[in-house]
Amino acid sequence: MEASFCYADLAGHLTLSAATGHEFGADTVVRFMEMLDSALGDGDRLIRSIGDAAVIACTEPHAAVLFVSALHECLAAEPGFPRLRVGMHHGDAAHDGEPVGPALELSALIAARARPGEALATRAVACAAASMGIEIVNQGDFAFGCLRQPVTIFALDVVAAEGERVEDPVCRIEIERERAPARLRHNRVDYYFCSLECAGYFARDPTRFAFD
């Protein structure tokens, strides 16, 4: 049995929860899981979810690319939502009839190397993306302790088009300047926020969050 695994998590979610409160952070995870469910295609399966991270098994590489593209579209439609980090790998996955094992673990290790808003994949998934007209960029070979040979990783341009991005000074996630829900001025500098909650935290103590 083979499967294409997609490991996805929300960049900066722990910082967001600490800054805005655990209830707000929990609501973000619930909404993320709703969007993830809506992005699933025929044959895609949610294998597990842990906090703000989830593992999806797709039937083949093309399906994995379609799923990740759809998920990015969902997130792009909600201003101020944390950015996604994704790792994808296609490989053997059979264990007592369930899609688990080293291929799944490798997708998680790849995701850990991704920057906010970045989708990384191994060769089989990258080739599928290229055949679909999606730009791929070779990131080089990387060594993983669980493997004997280095793995070539590619970045996939599946992120929806975005405007100029700025960093929320409270939760430190990136947002589009033009779509920021709130803006405050402090010491002649404009600050943009992913939510009214973050803006409120900043307003109560600007010196704590103002950029140097």
Residue with tokens 């900043």: 202
Distances (CA, A) of 120 to 19, 32, 146, 199, 210: 28, 19, 18, 32, 33
Structure tokens at 51: 């906090």
> What class, spelled out in words, does domain 2-156 have in CATH?
alpha beta
Q: How far apart are CA 35 and CA 37, in angstroms?
A: 5
Q: Could you tell me which residues come within 8 angstroms of residue 101 by beta carbon, excluding any fewer than 6 positions away? A: 92, 93, 94, 95
- pLDDT, residue 45, reads 92
**What angle is formed at CA 93 by the lines to CA 124 and CA 53, rounded to 5 degrees?**
85
Region of residue 140 (left: phi > 0; alpha: psi -120 to 50; beta: else): left
Q: Assess contact for 40 and 58: CB atoms under 8 A.
A: no
The token pair that represents 70 in the structure block: 């759809």
CA pair distance 118, 136, nearest whole angstrom = 12
Question: What is the reported pLDDT for 17?
Answer: 53
Q: What is the pTM (predicted TM-score) of this model?
A: 0.72
All structural domains of the chain with their residue ranges = 2-156, 165-209
**Whole-number pLDDT of residue 188:** 81
What pLDDT is stored for residue 15 in this prediction? 54
User: What DSSP string runs through 59-106?
Assistant: SSHHHHHHHHHHHHHHHHTSTTPPPEEEEEEEEE-EETTEE-SHHHHH
pLDDT by residue for the chain (212 residues), tens digit each? Answer: 789 999 999 876 555 555 555 555 678 888 999 999 999 999 999 998 888 899 999 999 999 999 999 998 888 788 667 888 999 999 887 655 555 677 888 999 999 999 888 999 999 999 999 998 899 999 999 988 767 789 999 999 887 555 567 888 888 777 778 778 888 988 888 898 888 888 888 888 888 887 65
For residue 141, the SS3 value is: strand
Beta strand segments in the chain, E: 2-10, 45-50, 53-58, 84-92, 94-95, 98-99, 119-121, 136-142, 151-156, 165-167, 174-176, 182-186, 189-193
3-class state of residue 13 by DSSP: helix
